[in-house]
Structure 1
Amino acid sequence: MPRTCLVVDDSRVVRKVARRILESNGFDVTEAADGQLALDACRQHLPDCVLLDWNMPVMDGITFLQALRKEFGPDNPPVVFCTTENDMDHIEAAISHGAQEYIMKPFDEDILTGKFAQVGLL
């Protein structure tokens, strides 16, 4: 059975690029345009992993991550942040709130699959 990944980003283009890369690496992909929609999706069917943007309307990435960890535990599902926020404060906040990894936009297939491999998803 293929692994599932929830791609959470307010940019349709980013979701589409991530979907193409992940599907070509054997994932079933679902999408959400903000953290609230993502949390609702996780409550319906918890994915094997989450690729998460930081800056989104309604509920941002870090708020979603806090809610996800509170509801589903500290490690499940693994979360990889994918964002333009590249300062150490953001990276440390993401990791301290339970993200497993952190990648910068723009990303390509090598970067994305490399990080997924590092956290044991590929």
Structure 2
Amino acid sequence: MVDDDDLILEVAQMSLEVVGGWEVTTANGARDGLVRARAEHPDAIVLDVMMPGMDGPTAAQALKADPETADIPIVLLTAKVQSADRDRFADLPVAGVLAKPFDPMRLPAELGSLLGWT
């Protein structure tokens, strides 16, 4: 889970671990997320869209361009869910988009569905 907001990271991590039963690693910001993805090679990455320094779409492209992380599925997490935003995200190498705010009780099921895990 990659986000620059510690509260979002905490709520999402708790949701995915407690409700979903998943093991979750968090990264504060895209650059930290890129480093952790290479080191830990997670089953999937959830990327916030709007982060300082490097945004989620740029990070997604970097992950897909790196042979070490290219096979990791990516889901974007964003408050930008207008049709113009979704059109922009459609061109990105991501499995899907989750909207903020999210329901912590439904997050694991929604993420699992986007990833084809359920």
TM-score by length of 2: 0.86
CA–CA distance in 2 between the matches of 1:54 and 1:45?
21
CA–CA distance in 2 between the matches of 1:66 and 1:55?
14
Distance 1:8 1:99, change over 3 A: same
Q: Residue 91 in 1 paired to residue 78 in 2?
A: no
For 2:12, the equivalent position in structure 1 comes to: 18
Runs of 4+ with deviation above 6 angstroms: none
CA–CA distance in 2 between the matches of 1:73 and 1:85?
29
Contact 2:95–2:114 under 8 Å retained in 1: no
CA–CA distance in 2 between the matches of 1:81 and 1:50?
8
Amino acid paired to 1:40: V
Distance 1:88 1:112, change over 3 A: farther
What does residue range 12-91 of structure 1 map to in structure 2 within 5 Å? 12-24=6-18, 25-72=20-67, 76-91=71-86
Overall identity of the aligned pairs, in %: 29
Higher percent of residues as strand: 1
CA–CA distance in 2 between the matches of 1:35 and 1:49?
15
How many positions carry a matched residue from both structures?
116
Q: Please tell me the root mean square deviation across aligned C-alpha atoms, in Å.
A: 2.0
